[in-house]
Amino acid sequence: MLIFSGSSNLPLAKKVANQLGSPLSKIEIHTFPDRENRVRIIDKVLDKDVIVVQSTGVSPNRFYMELFFILDGLKRSGARSVTLISPYLGYQRQDHIFRSGEAVSLEVIVNLLKTLRVDSVISLDLHSLRIEEFFKTKKIKLSHLSALSVFAKEVEKIAGFRKRDMVSQPVSASSNVGRQTILASKTLDYNDIVLVSPDMGGIRRIKQLAEMLDGKFPYVSIEKNRDLSSGEVESVKINGKVGKTAIIVDDMISTGKTLIAAADLLSKNGAEEIYVMATHGILSGNSSQDLQNSIIKKVIITDSIGIRPNRRFGKLEVISVANLIAGELKATSH
């Protein structure tokens, strides 16, 4: 099995290749002065099963065109099968017609992948369940993975930090109760930590995460209004009780406006610490600066999208999904 990578997320491709014990195969991607790309497959792929790693982010048009040329080059060179690893699938939010006259852009992408003879696709936390139907209709095998398992570990870490902070609180000198007795009583109230869906569409996701955590943490959802023309978001109502620590979980961060609006509403309703966890860090526009300046304590994303240095900020933490992807490849190769 040969592994090729486009230029969108080379660090993740290298991590996946290392997990599989295989080096990245050689490919040449040249960009002309007018920004056209030329792609050449260097390693021999005749009758070989190949993997292509290419995500999209703030430059979906550029990375999709690059991907299409890679796929065409592989098939012209005789590759037996092609598995596309696209952790973040660009245009997935355009999976149906919102207003009359709009294109269903994601369906166009899937049609192109079929035309270029992609056999299977591995992706993470797709925006809606209807996306799977596009691939099923075109008879492209889709492995839909989720980063919730890695987020569950992060939630447990945050809970552990809170418990450690509680038991390390100093004992009042005037107390007649022994220090050991006081520390023993400082148990963590899980109701102080609440999982949050920033909109009604994420309720299924937040319920799944709560189940992974054995139901120890309550969850709430936020109702929001969005202007389809301007994209402006207003969080208007919380369905449930807010704890002292709120952990917002979402599938992606684009402008960050939804998350910042949700954090502000949570703060007004009693949350003292607010964390954000999201699979895909698109981080478009001024989102990095806006999130850094917000009341959010930490933003945790995965490396499903390559994060450029100018998009990073102090509150940002990136965790890898290479193990998830490599595990899926190992499972499906047997």
CATH number of 148-303: 3.40.50.2020
Mean pLDDT of 19-46: 96
Q: State the Cα–Cα distance between residues 259 and 250, nearest whole angstrom.
A: 9
- Domain boundaries in the chain? 2-146+326-332, 148-303
pLDDT reported for residue 97:
87
Query: What's this model's pTM, rounded to 2 decimal places?
Result: 0.87
Q: Tell whether the model's pLDDT for residue 217 goes beyond 90.
A: yes
Q: Tell whether the model's pLDDT for residue 174 goes beyond 90.
A: no
Q: State the Cα–Cα distance between residues 71 and 84, nearest whole angstrom.
A: 9
List beta partners, residue 228.
Answer: none
pLDDT reported for residue 177:
41
Fold of 2-146+326-332: Rossmann fold (3.40.50)
Cα-Cα-Cα-Cα dihedral of 145, 151, 152, 156, to 10°? Answer: 160
Q: State the Cα–Cα distance between residues 74 and 46, nearest whole angstrom.
A: 9
pLDDT digits (tens, 9 = 90+) for 272-289: 999 999 999 999 999 999
Confidence of residue 170 (pLDDT cuts 50, 70, 90): very low
- Report the catalytic residues: 224
Q: Tell whether the model's pLDDT for residue 257 goes beyond 70.
A: yes
Q: Tell whether the model's pLDDT for residue 178 goes beyond 60.
A: no
Q: State the Cα–Cα distance between residues 235 and 226, nearest whole angstrom.
A: 9
